[in-house]
Amino acid sequence: MTSMPEPTAEPMPEPMVEPTPEPLAGTGPTIPAGAGSAEPAVPATSPGQGGAFERRVRAVTPARLFLGRSGTSLRTADQLALRADHAAAQDAVHAALDLETGLLAPLGDRFGLFAVGSAAPDRATYLRRPDLGRSLSAEGRAEVARRCPRGADLQVVVGDGLSVAAVDAQVPALLPALLDAAREAGWSVGQVFAVRNARVGLLNEIGELLDPAASVLLIGERPGLVTAESLSAYLAWRPRPGHTDADRNLISNIHARGVDIPQAVARILALATAMRAANTSGVLVKEDPAGPSALTS
């Protein structure tokens, strides 16, 4: 019987080895992989390290740039910072406005600041029903009508909006500076009050109820992962029901790394002055480097 030839063994292919990625220029030294780890070295970047380009970028933005990695994931420190900022944003949205024991309490003694509610009875309803935040509750409307004189040149209102943290961080310094500067400029100032569960559209009802010339709503902005403490100032000239964002002006990003308090006060009063000169607000009143001015047709 003829024996069958033994099969010839085929050589095994060489294992593929991914090259270790080269670190970007200016991103600092590399962190060697741990003992027994198959992970490549990872670029390590922290503020103060890196090249001139990175330092210039970091000086003008807090955005998450030039982050290192561990394998395919963020490094632990960066991941923890991201989760902490996300938690701060959630807390800012769900927190309650506190005028009695919080950072705003001294404003009650100094300016008689009081709070009323919008038509949204609680925070959960406010988040589901934005329309209810655009009007006062029946009790709130009666309280404002009773305690606030009509016809002021400037009516300032504080609204929690989507970030109580922003109100707590900015309003204790901004409100006194704004009211003092407005009085020094000759504006008659209405009784300031706060609205819980507030939306920007409240300006329309406030204009109808109190008939101020200019209304300013200081309201917490939707928090992000860079800051949960950013405040906006919405301005409107004689707001009435039916007015839209096209009839309002906005100064946003009032916070430590954005528009500071002195800048915010100056810009708010400059816009109010331009609105008075033009007898209107909104898209016909613009800010420019030389200061806000009304557009001419």
Mean pLDDT of 176-198: 97
Band of pLDDT at residue 31, cut at 50, 70 and 90: very low
| Secondary structure letter of residue 243 according to DSSP | -
178-192, 200-214, 222-236: which has the minimum mean pLDDT?
A: 222-236
Mean pLDDT of 198-209: 97
Is residue 273 within 8 A of residue 239, CB to CB? The reply is no
| Secondary structure letter of residue 10 according to DSSP | P
Pairing mode of beta strands 69-70, 42-43 = unpaired
18: pLDDT strictly greater than 60? no
- For 208, the token pair is 């109808």
- The Cα-based distances of 268 to 88, 102, 193, 253 in angstroms read 28, 26, 18, 13
Band of pLDDT at residue 29, cut at 50, 70 and 90: very low
DSSP 16-31: P-PPPPPPPTTS--EE
Check residue 40 and give its pLDDT.
Answer: 47
Check residue 74 and give its pLDDT.
Answer: 84
13: pLDDT strictly greater than 60? no
Average predicted confidence (pLDDT) for the chain: 84
20-24, 117-121, 257-261, 276-280: which has the minimum mean pLDDT?
A: 20-24
Identify the residue with better confidence: 143 or 47: 143
Check residue 1 and give its pLDDT.
Answer: 52
pLDDT tens-digit series, residues 247-277: 999 999 999 889 999 999 999 999 999 999 9
225: pLDDT strictly greater than 90? no
Mean pLDDT of 217-244: 92
Pairing mode of beta strands 193-196, 114-117 = parallel
- For 101, the token pair is 């024991």
CATH class of 118-294: alpha beta
Check residue 5 and give its pLDDT.
Answer: 55
Question: What CA–CA distance (Å, rounded) separates 229 from 226?
Answer: 9
pLDDT tens-digit series, residues 81-102: 878 888 887 877 777 889 998 8
Mean pLDDT of 53-68: 81
